[in-house]
């Protein structure tokens, strides 16, 4: 055969493989509003940057007449490409081929691209759209999942791992996304659960739809499994691109530096956002936007535990991770879910050299039997652990209330914050004035002729003396009391000064965080 003939033969073979599950399966995929696996990769990556590997891999199943079947690419597409010029390794399960089911060679393709990502030290993106284990391949498909989980864990904290759920992801398959850093879901398309509605109905007699059991909204709002929620696949890809621009390629690098841009002061003016009355709510995200470059803020987990806000912004062109109590919801208290949410984000930033900026305004921990019984001790401890363990630059700004355990937990000086600033509106005390006065002046209040009058008087007295930043500043727990409008300058300076911060904890294999 001549080169021409051989090239022709190659093209013919490729055409067969590139057809995926065939016209009918593709039509079905599109009829439910889903793109095909290859379309998704192309939509996400830079134009013409995608290079596919292992196109000719064939499945290895022998039983149940499987050896007579041809499954193009064995139901998964793998390759490399770029996003805004950043290199990434990527795989996308192809639901049109045997329902994207995971067999031995399908898993081999995924683990191969994962190994690539680890060697090349670049982010890994996995697009999940699969009916689950390929039953015909038996234990080999289970082995496949296990091999993937192992690699997810090894890669954790070394390269960014992003999971995109664009279809069903059920049973064992859910644990790969759960082990990765960020999970993206899309309304009406993503479905994640361990056991589906069918099994739940037969075993337990409970009837529930797939969407209500493990739809996108459920995971974004209720379970906290998902970090980003989108209404369409296209919107989801835009979110991924934005995230990629904020994070470094691997744990040995810093995120890329962008041009410094001043915040949009017309729109986000701290003086206008921030209420003078300490009991009134405001949206702390507006404060972040008033501080960050170009007022840009990529919020992570917007719907889950909204009483704490986490996300990425830039200061002087450098990525920072913001953790902020949100007085707009539940007065910004820490509870089981918000502790869990913050702690994981803190550890993410620490692993990937992203400095942490903490904005403090909380009345403490959420009281209640349900919270105590749900393990607020165990979950609250995660925040202490994550902040204490983090060695990236840690800068704290106490904007208003910082009471009791909440004060300690929100990256106080005592957990080794590098810089602690406070606004003049800060109230740093062992508890709120009301509670404190009731305890300290209990006898005086009870024995008074008009207890309410004395109580109000004592509250006022306590407030004046202790509900301010100056007691903490007198002990050096606060480095500087600053005007709110100076915050950006102080933060930028603090970050510049701590650029070469190097801190090493005691030698150990690993700690035992209160998971």
Partner 1 sequence: MNMKEEEKKESKYSTFVVHTAKYKTLLTKSFMERKSWEPENTNIIKAIIPGNINKIMIKKGDVVKVGDRLLVLEAMKMYNQILSPVNGKIKSIKVKEGEIVAKNAILVELE
| Cα separation, 17 vs 9, whole angstroms | 13
- The minimum distance between CB 204 and partner 1, in angstroms, equals 4
- The minimum distance between CB 223 and partner 1, in angstroms, equals 11
Answer yes or no whether residue 431 interacts with partner 1 by CB under 8 A: yes
118: left (phi over 0), alpha (psi -120 to 50) or beta: alpha
Answer yes or no whether residue 198 interacts with partner 1 by CB under 8 A: no
Answer yes or no whether residue 465 interacts with partner 1 by CB under 8 A: no
Q: Which of 432, 314, 418 is nearest to 364 (CA)?
A: 432
- The minimum distance between CB 403 and partner 1, in angstroms, equals 8
Q: Which of 459, 427, 455, 457 is nearest to 443 (CA)?
A: 455
Which residue, 82 or 438, is less far from partner 1 as judged by CB?
438
Answer yes or no whether residue 327 interacts with partner 1 by CB under 8 A: yes
- The minimum distance between CB 470 and partner 1, in angstroms, equals 21
Residues 304-323 that bind partner 1 (CB under 8 A): 305-307
120 secondary structure, DSSP code: H
| Cα separation, 359 vs 383, whole angstroms | 14
Which residue, 215 or 332, is less far from partner 1 as judged by CB?
332
Size, binding site for partner 1 by CB under 8 A: 35
Q: Please pick, from the candidates 167, 364, 380, 393, the single residue that binds partner 1 as defined by CB under 8 A.
A: 364
Q: Which stretch binds partner 1 (CB under 8 A): 13-21, 66-74, 153-161, 434-442?
A: 434-442
Q: Are 249 and 121 in contact (CB under 8 A)?
A: yes
CA distances from 346 to 137, 303, 309, 353 (A): 40, 18, 12, 11
| Cα separation, 307 vs 288, whole angstroms | 15
| Cα separation, 156 vs 176, whole angstroms | 11
Q: Please pick, from the candidates 189, 230, 330, 445, the single residue that binds partner 1 as defined by CB under 8 A.
A: 330
320 secondary structure, DSSP code: E
Coil, helix or strand for 404?
helix
Q: Which stretch binds partner 1 (CB under 8 A): 346-354, 369-377, 410-418, 502-510?
A: 369-377
- The minimum distance between CB 344 and partner 1, in angstroms, equals 18
Each residue 377-406 as x (binds partner 1 by CB under 8 A) or -, in order, gives: --------------------------x---
Which residue, 145 or 403, is less far from partner 1 as judged by CB?
403
- The minimum distance between CB 134 and partner 1, in angstroms, equals 26
Answer yes or no whether residue 195 interacts with partner 1 by CB under 8 A: no
Answer yes or no whether residue 432 interacts with partner 1 by CB under 8 A: yes
* CB neighbour burial string for 315-324, b if at least 16 within 10 angstroms, e if fewer: bbebbbbbbb
Q: Which of 217, 198, 214 is nearest to 206 (CA)?
A: 198
Q: Please pick, from the candidates 4, 48, 373, 509, the single residue that binds partner 1 as defined by CB under 8 A.
A: 373
Query: Which residues, 6 or more positions from 170, have their beta carbon under 8 angstroms from its beta carbon?
Result: 131, 132, 191, 192, 193, 194, 196, 214
CA distances from 58 to 74, 108, 142 (A): 6, 11, 18
Query: Which residues, 6 or more positions from 482, have their beta carbon under 8 angstroms from its beta carbon?
Result: 421, 422, 423, 490
Which residue, 3 or 369, is less far from partner 1 as judged by CB?
369
| Cα separation, 457 vs 384, whole angstroms | 35
Q: Please pick, from the candidates 222, 254, 414, 416, the single residue that binds partner 1 as defined by CB under 8 A.
A: 222
Residues 253-292 that bind partner 1 (CB under 8 A): 279-281
Which residue, 337 or 418, is less far from partner 1 as judged by CB?
337
Q: Please pick, from the candidates 42, 210, 328, 440, the single residue that binds partner 1 as defined by CB under 8 A.
A: 328
- Looking at the DSSP assignment, which residues form a beta bridge with residue 357? 322, 395
Answer yes or no whether residue 368 interacts with partner 1 by CB under 8 A: yes
| Cα separation, 273 vs 286, whole angstroms | 7
121: left (phi over 0), alpha (psi -120 to 50) or beta: left
Answer yes or no whether residue 144 interacts with partner 1 by CB under 8 A: no
Which residue, 191 or 455, is less far from partner 1 as judged by CB?
455
Q: Please pick, from the candidates 206, 266, 449, 504, the single residue that binds partner 1 as defined by CB under 8 A.
A: 206
Q: Please pick, from the candidates 203, 259, 474, 512, the single residue that binds partner 1 as defined by CB under 8 A.
A: 203
* Residue ranges in contact with partner 1 by CB under 8 A: 203-206, 221-222, 279-281, 305-307, 327-333, 337, 363-364, 366-370, 373, 403, 431-435, 438
């Amino acid at each position: 055969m001549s080169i021409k003939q051989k090239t022709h033969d190659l093209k013919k073979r490729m055409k067969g493989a590139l057809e995926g599950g065939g016209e009918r399966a593709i039509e079905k995929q599109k009829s439910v509003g889903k793109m095909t696996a290859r379309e998704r990769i192309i939509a996400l990556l830079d134009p013409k940057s995608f290079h596919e590997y292992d196109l000719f891999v064939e499945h290895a199943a022998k039983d149940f007449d499987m050896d007579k079947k041809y499954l193009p690419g064995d139901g998964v597409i793998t390759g490399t490409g770029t996003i805004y010029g950043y290199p990434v390794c990527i795989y996308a399960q192809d639901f049109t081929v045997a329902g994207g089911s995971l067999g031995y060679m399908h898993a081999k393709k995924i683990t191969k691209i994962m190994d690539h990502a680890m060697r090349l030290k670049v982010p890994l993106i996995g697009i999940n759209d699969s009916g689950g284990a390929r039953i015909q391949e038996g234990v080999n498909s289970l082995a496949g999942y296990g091999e993937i989980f192992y690699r997810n864990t090894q890669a954790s904290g070394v390269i960014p791992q992003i999971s995109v759920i664009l279809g069903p992801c059920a049973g064992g398959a859910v644990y790969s996304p759960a082990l990765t850093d960020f999970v993206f879901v899309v309304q009406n398309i993503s479905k994640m659960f361990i056991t589906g509605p069918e099994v739940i109905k037969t075993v337990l007699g409970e009837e529930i739809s797939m969407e209500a059991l493990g739809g996108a909204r459920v995971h974004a709002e209720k379970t906290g499994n998902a970090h980003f929620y989108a209404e369409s696949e296209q919107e989801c890809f835009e979110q991924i691109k934005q995230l990629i621009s904020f994070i470094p390629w691997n744990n040995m690098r810093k995120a890329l530096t962008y041009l410094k841009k001043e915040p949009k002061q017309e729109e986000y003016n701290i003086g206008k956002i921030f209420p003078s009355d300490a009991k009134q709510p405001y949206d702390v995200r507006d404060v972040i936007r008033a501080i960050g470059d170009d007022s840009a803020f990529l919020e992570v987990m917007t719907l889950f535990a909204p009483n704490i806000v986490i996300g990425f912004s830039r200061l002087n062109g450098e990525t920072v991770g913001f953790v902020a109590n949100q007085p707009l919801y539940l007065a910004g208290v820490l509870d089981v879910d918000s502790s869990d949410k913050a702690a994981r984000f803190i550890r993410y930033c620490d692993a990937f050299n992203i400095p942490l900026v903490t904005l403090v305004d909380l009345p403490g921990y959420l009281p209640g039997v349900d919270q105590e019984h749900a393990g607020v001790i165990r979950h609250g401890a995660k925040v202490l652990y994550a902040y204490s363990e983090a060695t990236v630059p840690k800068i704290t700004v106490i904007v208003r209330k910082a009471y009791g355990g909440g004060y300690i937990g929100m990256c106080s000086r005592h957990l080794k914050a590098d810089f602690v600033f406070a606004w003049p509106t800060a109230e740093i005390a062992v508890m709120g004035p009301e509670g404190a006065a009731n305890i300290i002046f209990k006898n005086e209040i009870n024995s008074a002729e008009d207890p309410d009058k004395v109580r109000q008087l004592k509250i006022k007295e306590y407030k004046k003396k202790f509900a301010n930043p100056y007691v903490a500043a007198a002990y050096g727990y606060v480095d500087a009391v600053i005007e709110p409008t100076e915050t950006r300058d102080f933060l930028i300076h603090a970050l510049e000064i701590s650029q070469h911060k190097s801190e090493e904890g005691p030698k150990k294999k690993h700690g035992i965080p209160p998971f």
